[in-house]
Structure 1
Amino acid sequence: MPSRNNATAGVSSSKVKYSKLAESDDGYIDLQFKKHTPKVPYKAIALATVLFLIGTLLITISALLLTGYINSTYSDTTWPVLIIGILVFLPGFYHLRIAYYAARGYRGYSYDDIPDFDD
């Protein structure tokens, strides 16, 4: 049966930071309460902006088609354009709102709430 002591066999490229434990162990350490600066997910915010703009464009086009401002020969395509526009608009708006509130420093909002692409 192979031994399990291979964990300490020269793996020095770890990103984990270690600290010394306190003498009196009451179950908590200081690093537990240290605030870290969140990484801004620029790619996710850019994707949310693109989704927001495409959704806004599709909703505007479908509204113009519904009101008759744009004359359409195929009027049956108006409702699918509106539905796709809403489905694209909502996630873009939601993530842009979180990014805006996090950038302004509102309490309860953080960049950690936006899914990242794990660069």
Structure 2
Amino acid sequence: MSRFRFGRTNNGYTQVPNDDSGFCDSQFEIPPQKIPWKAIALASFLFIVGSVLLTVGTLIVTGHIDTKYSDRLWPIILLGCIMFLPGAYHVRIAYYAYKEYPGYSFADIPEFE
């Protein structure tokens, strides 16, 4: 049995008036941004630890730290670079989004669930 057979056409929808263009102002409003606190905390951690590891590696290279630790030079520098680069990148995006620079938003930072 069809709904239209007995003349029932009310399906819960209302018809938009003909003089309206079909758009409403609320569909063009930008929803408030959620700040991804976990991702910013992880980026800050990577930035700080990567900076420390790069600093320690640099101090080993320059001889300010005893040369008996010279076998740890390249792993420290490599790990420092691996941690520093994504941390610095995402901290920069978070800073620019906080300062509301055009083209930057918190939506550019991946969010953890």
TM-score normalised by L of structure 2 = 0.77
Contact 1:21/1:29, CA 8 A, preserved across alignment = no
TM-score normalised by L of structure 1 = 0.73
Moved over 6 A (4+): none
- Asked whether 1:48 is paired with 2:43, we answer yes
Percentage of pairs with the same residue:
48
Out of 108, 111, 116, the position equivalent to 2:111 is 116
Could you report, residue by residue, the CA deviation over 1:71-105 in whole angstroms, capped at 9, with x for unpaired residues? Answer: 13142320121011011001110110000000001
Counterpart in 2 of 1:4?
none
Residues of 1 paired with 2:107 and 2:43: CA distance? 15
Contact 1:41/1:111, CA 8 A, preserved across alignment = yes
Structure 2: segments with no counterpart, 5+ residues: 1-13
Residues of 1 paired with 2:15 and 2:84: CA distance? 49
User: Structure 1 residues 22, 80: closer, same or farther in 2, change over 3 A?
Assistant: farther
What RMSD over aligned residues (CA atoms) do the two structures have, in Å? 2.1
Structure 1: segments with no counterpart, 5+ residues: 1-19
Bigger proportion of residues as helix: 2
Larger radius of gyration: 2
